[in-house]
Amino acid sequence: MQVNRNRAQTIKLKNQPKIIGSYSIVGPKEGDGNFKNYFDYVMKEDHFGEDSFEKAERKMIENAITGVVQKAKLQPKDIDMMIAGDLLNQIISSSYAARAFEFPFLGVYGACSTMAESMAVASVLVDGGYCENVVCCTASHFSTAERQYRFPLELGNQRPPTAQWTVTGAGACVLSMNGQGPRVSSVTFGKVVDWGIRDVNNMGAAMAPAARHTLLSHFNNTKTSPEDYDLIVTGDLGKLGSEILIDLMEEEGVKLGLNYGDCGQMYFKRQQRTLCGGSGAGCCATVFNSFIMAKLRERQYKKVLFLPTGALLSTTSSQQGDTVPGVCHAIVVES
Amino acid sequence: MQVNRNRAQTIKLKNQPKIIGSYSIVGPKEGDGNFKNYFDYVMKEDHFGEDSFEKAERKMIENAITGVVQKAKLQPKDIDMMIAGDLLNQIISSSYAARAFEFPFLGVYGACSTMAESMAVASVLVDGGYCENVVCCTASHFSTAERQYRFPLELGNQRPPTAQWTVTGAGACVLSMNGQGPRVSSVTFGKVVDWGIRDVNNMGAAMAPAARHTLLSHFNNTKTSPEDYDLIVTGDLGKLGSEILIDLMEEEGVKLGLNYGDCGQMYFKRQQRTLCGGSGAGCCATVFNSFIMAKLRERQYKKVLFLPTGALLSTTSSQQGDTVPGVCHAIVVES
């Protein structure tokens, strides 16, 4: 352990758990986006044959977990633990999906940073020899998130230019002691940062300070700089938020160059009219577990710094006039 | 690691992290209950000087963390990680409280089992040498839970005989590599169990099957039986739920004797009219971090099996006609 108090905490993993399988399932709009050729499954319609969007989100998680266990060439009985979370109140998509499986369930919540949180905890469990195979999963659904956090879908409310589009999708991976695949070499647990943003339609600005904090801590803790990575990729800061992060880092003397990207900003095509881009826990989860993992497997990327960000608000906190704190956890994956 | 697939998973901790500090803060009604002499702080009124119950809940967490770090004779800079969760949507009480501190934040959600989940993850982080000191915290507040999960407080809705009373309180502890205190010797991660209960006013019945599953797995995995523990204590099954658990275990040939108790069932005095007893994430968190820890420190209890249970529902899942799945994680603490 590197002791770096008052900073985000970096844990170097001695045994470097392998990501032996990854799986992504997305909605039709996402399937038309920039990563269309990389997803494992594109749903024909957002209901996914269920009678509510919430049940569709749950089914995406069930299918992602079943799919990733198969892709990892394992049986469900080989899985020691499932770590998952999502954006719905009481993370019901994950909890209810967990009923379908015989392995223990650990529910985590870090809003759109949840994929990193589940992978970070899984990495420690595997690295320390406590578990052999752990499945991590995160999801979001445009229609469940929109109606829970913002407005009824039927209202057809106008979206401000800073708005992002919640990705309908679930991403899952299996971390293992054994087998072949890209390795998790370190994880950095971030702290909660709040710079006073109150606009719930500007999540990128709310989360950028947390990304800045974790990124600076991570570089400091690991004695690395942006050039050491083939890809530095934040979760869903979106177009505006990722520009803010670039500016904030430049103020600190750290230049994020062409190897920096943001999953939300890259997700959709311009003509798909998502304004500032994709968002939601499923955004970076589906990009990581499709495109990024493919490039790591092909060794086109040798070292990736994956930084999902989360905005930790609720409708209650917004209605009570609270600002929006952010959090960001980082994972280093090497091929 | 003991590999026990298709069962709850038990992790034996080689280095046995020490619980070097515990702290509990409760509301006035809780302060009049059966554990009144054991709490660190009893609030004079439920608002705790804040302008909303939600902000009071957040303040309880902040104070519990500040209090437990002091009681552990540490400085905030000595803490490597905070692991916390609560019952509010998007665990805002924990996330917003985390802003007040400089250490990284890991949000977890297991409903009323959250204290066990945070302690189990912390135990692994400390046992594996990844962190030196981890603070765990969980809270609930009667007035925030009641209005979020059930009815507006002003409605004065009648409570059915199976109802339980959400405890207003926060409990926190510090797990450490060093120092003195009761030791965590093993943790058992439970799986999600759903036996089809739909009554949101009968959480005890919904959670008892998960407690049964984790308890049977734990005994099996560790080759122990009820007589090996000075205290076996579930979280908030309440009066009815704990009777159901005793029956379910008897059907399996396991007799829970006088060393079995339930925090919810024991929390309040009869004349406090809480029907089936206490509940909420703060229920077992405040009992464990006051009474149980005191008895462990006095060595009146030498070996305690602590089994917080959680009901993983949301208002959305209930409104969509879903049943209520439960989960239960177990922690063994030895003096």
Number of continuous H segments (helices) and E segments (strands) in chain B = 11, 16
* Cβ neighbours, 10 Å, residue A217: 23
Dist CA A147 CA A280 (whole Å) = 13
Alpha helix segments (H runs only) across A44-129: 53-71, 92-98, 114-127
B9 to A104, A157, B1: CA distances (angstroms): 7, 47, 9
Closest CA to A292 of A209, A239, A249, A229: A229
Closest CA to A211 of A146, A260, A160: A260
Query: Which residues are paired to A231 by β-bridges?
Result: A304
Q: What is the mean pLDDT of residues B280-303?
A: 98
pLDDT digits (tens, 9 = 90+) for A158-187: 899 999 999 999 999 999 999 999 999 999
Closest CA to B282 of B126, B58, B127: B58
CA torsion sign for A138, A143, A147, A150 is positive
Contacts of B6 in chain A (CB under 8 A): 77, 102-103
Q: Count interface pairs A-B at CB distance under 8 A.
A: 198
DSSP B111-142: GGGHHHHHHHHHHHHHHTTS-SEEEEEEEE-H
With CB atoms and an 8 Å threshold, state whether A90 touches B322. Answer: no
- What is the SS3 assignment for B325? coil
- pLDDT at position A8 is 77
Does B173 or B9 have the greater pLDDT score? B173
Dist CA A264 CA A282 (whole Å) = 10
Amino acid at A7: R
With CB atoms and an 8 Å threshold, state whether A130 touches B132. Answer: no
Q: What is the pLDDT along chain A (335 residues), one digit of tens a residue?
A: 333 445 679 999 999 999 999 999 999 999 999 999 999 999 999 999 999 999 999 999 999 999 999 999 999 999 999 999 999 999 999 999 999 999 999 999 999 999 999 999 999 999 999 999 999 999 999 999 999 999 899 998 889 999 999 999 999 999 999 999 999 999 999 999 999 999 888 999 999 999 999 999 999 999 999 999 999 999 999 999 999 999 999 999 999 999 999 999 999 999 999 999 999 999 999 999 999 999 999 999 999 999 999 999 999 999 999 999 999 999 999 99
Q: How far is A233 from chain B (nearest CA, A)?
A: 20
8-state DSSP, A4? -
Tally of CA atoms within 13 A in the half-sphere of B160 that contains its CB = 8
With CB atoms and an 8 Å threshold, state whether A108 touches B109. Answer: yes
pLDDT digits (tens, 9 = 90+) for B68-81: 999 999 999 999 99
Q: What is the mean pLDDT of residues B18-30?
A: 98
Chain A interface includes B314 (CB < 8 A) = yes
CA–CA–CA angle B190, B193, B198 (5° rounding): 140
Chain A interface includes B317 (CB < 8 A) = yes
Dist CA B36 CA B209 (whole Å) = 30
Contacts of A78 in chain B (CB under 8 A): 5
Tally of CA atoms within 13 A in the half-sphere of A28 that contains its CB = 6
With CB atoms and an 8 Å threshold, state whether A325 touches B98. Answer: yes
Binned at pLDDT 50, 70 and 90, residue B4 comes out as very low
With CB atoms and an 8 Å threshold, state whether B77 touches A5. Answer: yes
Q: Which helix (H) or strand (E) holds B187?
A: strand B183-189
Residues 6+ apart with CB under 8 A from B273: none
Nearest CB to B105 within list A107, A129, A192: A192
pLDDT surpasses 70 at B224: yes
pLDDT surpasses 80 at B2: no
Q: How far is A89 from chain B (nearest CA, A)?
A: 5
Query: Which residues are paired to A328 by β-bridges?
Result: A309
- Go through the domains of chain B in sequence order and give each one's CATH number: 17-176 (3.40.47.40), 183-334 (3.40.47.40)
For helices A203-222 and A238-251, what crossing angle results, to 10°? 40
User: Are the beta carbons of A174 and A133 closer than 8 angstroms?
Assistant: yes
Q: Which residues 115-154 on chain A approach chain B with CB closer than 8 angstroms?
A: 117, 121, 124-125, 127-132, 148
Percent of chain B with pLDDT strictly greater than 70: 98
- pLDDT at position A2 is 38
Q: What is the mean pLDDT of residues B239-268?
A: 97
Dist CA A290 CA A278 (whole Å) = 16
Three-class secondary structure assignment of B236-301: CCHHHHHHHHHHHHHHCCCCCCCCEEEHHHHHCCHHHCCCCCEECHHHHHHHHHHHHHHHHHCCCC
Nearest CB to A125 within list B102, B105, B124: B124
Start-to-end Cα distance in chain A:
23
The ipTM, to two decimals, is: 0.96
User: Are the beta carbons of B218 and A130 closer than 8 angstroms?
Assistant: no
CA–CA–CA angle A238, A240, A245 (5° rounding): 90
Q: What is the mean pLDDT of residues B39-64?
A: 97
With CB atoms and an 8 Å threshold, state whether B92 touches A317. Answer: yes
User: Are the beta carbons of B127 and B118 closer than 8 angstroms?
Assistant: no
Contacts of A103 in chain B (CB under 8 A): 5-6, 9, 191
With CB atoms and an 8 Å threshold, state whether B90 touches A190. Answer: no
User: Are the beta carbons of B311 and A96 closer than 8 angstroms?
Assistant: no
Q: How far is B298 from chain A (nearest CA, A)?
A: 31
- pLDDT at position A172 is 98
- pLDDT at position A274 is 94
Dist CA A310 CA A323 (whole Å) = 14
With CB atoms and an 8 Å threshold, state whether B104 touches A194. Answer: no
Q: Which residues 206-265 on chain B approach chain A with CB closer than 8 angstroms?
A: none
Q: What is the dihedral of CA B125, B130, B133, B139, to 10 degrees?
A: -30
Query: Which residues are paired to A175 by β-bridges?
Result: A19, A134
